[in-house]
Structure 1
């Protein structure tokens, strides 16, 4: 997954854990296999980042959670994120430059102030990416700036999700939060008389 994201230079990636939604074929299959957790143990938050795995996984749950954590940590590391934005900036084919509007300069100034507080290593990677774009494809600068602004949410959010996944892994390691899947009721078998 990490290699695919890096190879395609997709800056904003929605990565989540699988959640079996009600009335789907997956839910029916998991129910039939006795692997679906009871509905009262399932979250209704709609948070696709931490609410997944409402079923007993075939691989060890800890391994699945750790793999997810590894993907998030890798793709939202400032070096990786701004590296993808830099590559995106080089790939964008713009025939004409973006026309500045009144709020653009103010928004850019706010981004500059906030990017320096967005976590270790973020500001340096931002400036490296911005200079690279200005030198190699100046018409793409407004677009890489907009994509960079998304990191102000995505960077901290990914760290928050990683912390939540770390807590979930600790619970699994301690034997907590072991929910027994619900079993599908046995079907009546008619035996000829």
Structure 2
């Protein structure tokens, strides 16, 4: 009996110290949003998918039609004892044009617009604070229009979209360069 109690106590202590969390960011093309987060210490996984819409299990084709209400989104699973949510927000801002409400770079339409999907009030507070800080930084002349939205769903994208930048290096580099993303980001964040 003592052995069983010891094992149960050990398992409870492991789970009570678990620090795995999730974050959801829409920043235009999800292919471009995976690499910066996957490189971070403390990030466990990054999954491309669709979030915020009204259609269950949407396909890329249906999302890109603009009729599902979803945005291309990345789901980030991270260890918050190594990296925290405000750090993820800092990385997020450095990947997008937060002043563009019509999409991101070459990708146009609601499905490519930027958003922070918060899962609790702490994430919401951090997101709103980060927007104020960004507005006060003077980096952007236009208003910050990235939405802060209550998380309601996430559907992983088709397998061929996952780690696209690794699976299709040449196509990804060609797309990324011609999207204008890097040129814009370099001009803002130098």
Give the TM bin, normalised by the shorter chain: under 0.3
Which structure has greater helix proportion? 1
Q: Which has the higher strand share?
A: 2
Tell me: higher relative CO, structure 1 or 2? Use CA pairs within 8 A at least 6 residues apart: 1
TM-score after normalising by structure 1? 0.24
TM-score (norm 2): 0.25
Greater radius of gyration (CA): 1
